[in-house]
Amino acid sequence: MEGGPFMIDFEKLGTYKENNRLEAKKAAGGLPNSILETYSAFANTSGGVILLGVEENADKTLKIAGLENPEKLIADFWNNINNPQKVSINLLSDKKVKIVEVGGKNIVAIEVPRAERTEKPIFIGENPFKGTFRRNGDGDYHCGEEELNAMYRDKAIKTQDMIVLEKMGFDVFCHDTIRSYRNVMKLTRPEHIWTDLEEEDFLYRIGAASYGENKKLHPTAAGLLMFGHEYEITKEYPYYFLDYQEQFDTSERWNDRFVSSSGEWSGNIYDFFRKAYNKLSQNIKIPFKVVDGLRVEDTPIHKAIREALANCLINADYYGRRGLVEKYKPKEITLENPGRFRIDIAIAVEGTVTDPRNSLLMKFFNLIDVGERSGRGIYEIYRVWADMNWDAPVFDEMLDFDRTKLTLPIKKQTTKTDDKKQTTKSDGKKQTTKSDGKKDTEKTKKQKDLILSYIDENGKITTKDAADFLQVGMTRAKSLFYQLIDSGKITAQGDSKNRRYVK
């Protein structure tokens, strides 16, 4: 089978084990009753492949059992998947269901794509509260009410933060925060027509306030989160909690920390962003000039850090049970927020599509030149990390807790020439030079050349193709593609599910 979320080498099927994107079913007695649960689970999580006619060995590896009548099994499957009383939506096309011959035996491979947020929840039966599943490890589990409600919140055309909070007035706002934000906006957009408006009119124009059914102005959810007092925010978001930690000594849980609930500052998103950004900038020790908490003179790494912080805050589900946590350690930064990605992570990383959970929050940050509306924000983070010659960022969807985590390593890749001192002899004396961290290492140059050669021979290449033949991870392969695109040597073609790269 070609394509799909990952390519399976059926001749080496015995080396595979079930995981969060692979499920094997023996199907000796016909179509398994649990197959629709797995379909729902894969569709609501990250997609995956279901193999029929395959069973597990005692050590959890897979072996071919084979099917006597795979055509009938496929016919029964289509009858079920196309029945709206059994499945809410059929996401599959004919090419996603195939008979594959392996070692003289037939099996059926079913590729289930990840559902779009507007299609979720994908459920079986006629009651989503009873028939919605998600994938966790190598098993399917029934979604609880909180998970289902989160899917319905994301399903809406309007984002969560557009809600008008008609029970609240302007007393929920922290006016010092608003004043600080407006000062930064004047610096970044001095000619903007909103900069000199009265505060109430300014908040209405940017979307922090809107008219309710009573024809009076009230805060929007975005306005409350960005500019409100923490004790007012928790009235709408009971689990709201922002946490910044620094750990320099591994024997301590943290060496420095501030949280939104301390009462020592406003506790809102904007002030948290400024405080966290200033801390991170000082720790990474890259020179910059500060005016009211934000840069005037800039570097790519500063922009990437701001982008990462803003992305975390913009895409958090503030109704989620656990709060937002950002941690600094000498070798890495981690940013963790409630809520999973609304689009596939690979698509977000490619920078071709944006779908923020809180679009008004994105607008607020854009007005002070933080964040990318074009969808290239995450792409730019990866590009900057590649230029710094640091290990690539890593996104992780934590399915157990319905959270997203971004890890930003602050270290060089483990190659012999990366920013190490090289010693040579000249006229009997030792001279010490440093390699340029912005130049390609020999290994990186060779990997790029191999990608270009592959395209010459095959006409195109996918991320999985590159990861397989270079024997690197998907994240490293994407990083190489970003660099080649930026240098104008390749371009991306096709939709998000069929992305390929050509010269």
Angle at 433 between CA 429 and CA 437, to 5 degrees: 170
Is 413 a residue whose pLDDT tops 70?
A: no
pLDDT in tens, 120-130: 899 999 999 99
310: tokens are 């803003």
497: tokens are 């599910």
Shared domain for 244 and 132, answered yes or no, is no
pLDDT in tens, 120-158: 899 999 999 999 999 988 889 999 888 888 888 877 667
Predicted confidence band of residue 24 (pLDDT cuts 50, 70, 90): very high
Is 221 a residue whose pLDDT tops 50?
A: yes
Is 220 in contact with 163 (CB distance < 8 Å)?
yes
Query: Does residue 148 lie within any of the structural domains?
Result: no
Which structural domain, as residue segments, surrounds residue 354?
A: 160-409
Shared domain for 261 and 357, answered yes or no, is yes
Q: Please, which contacts does 223-226 make with residues 24 or more away whose CB atoms are closer than 8 Å?
A: 223/173, 223/360, 224/165, 224/168, 224/172, 225/161, 225/268, 225/269, 225/318, 225/358, 225/361, 226/177, 226/181, 226/268, 226/269, 226/270, 226/361, 226/364
Shared domain for 275 and 166, answered yes or no, is yes
Which H or E element spans position 433? strand 429-434
Arithmetic mean of pLDDT, 353-369: 87
Pairing assessment for the beta strands 242-246 and 324-329 based on DSSP bridges:
parallel
Shared domain for 110 and 172, answered yes or no, is no
Is 107 a residue whose pLDDT tops 80?
A: yes
Query: Does residue 247 lie within any of the structural domains?
Result: yes
Per-residue model confidence (pLDDT) at position 355: 72
Is 381 in contact with 307 (CB distance < 8 Å)?
yes
Is 288 a residue whose pLDDT tops 70?
A: no
Per the prediction, the chain carries an average pLDDT of 83
Q: Cα–Cα distance between 42 and 20 in angstroms, integer? A: 8
278: tokens are 């200033």
Is 242 in contact with 274 (CB distance < 8 Å)?
no
Last residue of a domain, one of 359, 391, 409: 409
Arithmetic mean of pLDDT, 183-190: 92
Is 354 a residue whose pLDDT tops 80?
A: no
Is 38 a residue whose pLDDT tops 50?
A: yes
Per-residue model confidence (pLDDT) at position 177: 97
Is 42 in contact with 69 (CB distance < 8 Å)?
no
Is 310 a residue whose pLDDT tops 90?
A: yes
Shared domain for 392 and 452, answered yes or no, is no
Query: Which of 5-9, 192-196, 285-289 reaches the highest mean pLDDT?
Result: 192-196
Per-residue model confidence (pLDDT) at position 264: 96
Query: Does residue 154 lie within any of the structural domains?
Result: no
Query: Does residue 416 lie within any of the structural domains?
Result: no
Query: Does residue 418 lie within any of the structural domains?
Result: no
Query: Does residue 152 lie within any of the structural domains?
Result: no
Compute the Cα dihedral for 125, 129, 130, 134 and give only its sign: positive
Residue ranges of alpha helices (H) inside 134-196 are 145-155, 175-188
Predicted confidence band of residue 415 (pLDDT cuts 50, 70, 90): very low
Angle at 469 between CA 466 and CA 475, to 5 degrees: 40
Arithmetic mean of pLDDT, 443-453: 85
Arithmetic mean of pLDDT, 71-77: 94
Predicted confidence band of residue 23 (pLDDT cuts 50, 70, 90): very high
Arithmetic mean of pLDDT, 24-28: 92
**What is the CATH number for 83?**
3.30.950.30
Query: Does residue 374 lie within any of the structural domains?
Result: yes
Per-residue model confidence (pLDDT) at position 157: 64
User: Which region among 206-210, 311-315, 455-459, 487-491 has the lowest average model confidence (pLDDT)?
Assistant: 455-459
Shared domain for 57 and 173, answered yes or no, is no
Q: What is the DSSP string of 26-62?
A: --TTSS-TTHHHHHHHHHHTT-EEEEESEEE-TTSBE
Q: Cα–Cα distance between 94 and 90 in angstroms, integer? A: 11
Arithmetic mean of pLDDT, 67-89: 93
pLDDT in tens, 222-261: 999 999 999 999 999 999 999 999 988 777 778 899 999 9
Residue for token digits 């779009």? 116
Per-residue model confidence (pLDDT) at position 435: 36
Shared domain for 231 and 298, answered yes or no, is yes
Q: Cα–Cα distance between 261 and 277 in angstroms, integer? A: 19
Q: Which residue has the higher pLDDT, 425 or 114?
A: 114
Shared domain for 465 and 384, answered yes or no, is no
Shared domain for 138 and 167, answered yes or no, is no
Is 294 a residue whose pLDDT tops 80?
A: no
Shared domain for 227 and 267, answered yes or no, is yes
Per-residue model confidence (pLDDT) at position 422: 38
User: Which region among 44-58, 181-195, 396-410 has the lowest average model confidence (pLDDT)?
Assistant: 396-410
At position 86, the amino acid (one-letter code) is K
pLDDT in tens, 381-399: 888 888 888 888 888 877 6
| Of the candidates 150, 148, 210, 206, the residue with the CA atom closest to the CA atom of residue 357 | 150
Is 426 a residue whose pLDDT tops 60?
A: no
Pairing assessment for the beta strands 324-329 and 332-338 based on DSSP bridges:
antiparallel
Arithmetic mean of pLDDT, 315-326: 90
Per-residue model confidence (pLDDT) at position 483: 84
pLDDT in tens, 449-467: 888 888 877 788 988 888 8
Per-residue model confidence (pLDDT) at position 361: 95
**What is the CATH number for 378?**
3.30.565.60
Shared domain for 41 and 118, answered yes or no, is yes
Predicted confidence band of residue 440 (pLDDT cuts 50, 70, 90): low
Residue 402 neighbours by CB under 8 Å, 6+ apart: 146, 147, 150, 317, 320, 338, 339, 340
Last residue of a domain, one of 409, 434, 453: 409
Q: Which residue has the higher pLDDT, 378 or 262?
A: 262
Last residue of a domain, one of 115, 143, 171: 143
Shared domain for 248 and 167, answered yes or no, is yes
User: Which region among 5-14, 229-238, 257-266, 348-357 has the lowest average model confidence (pLDDT)?
Assistant: 348-357
**What is the CATH number for 494?**
1.10.10.10
Q: Cα–Cα distance between 444 and 490 in angstroms, integer? A: 16
Our count of domains for the chain comes to 3
**What would you measure as the largest C-alpha separation in the chain, in angstroms?**
86
Query: Does residue 485 lie within any of the structural domains?
Result: yes
Query: Which of 55-64, 173-182, 447-456, 471-480 reaches the highest mean pLDDT?
Result: 173-182
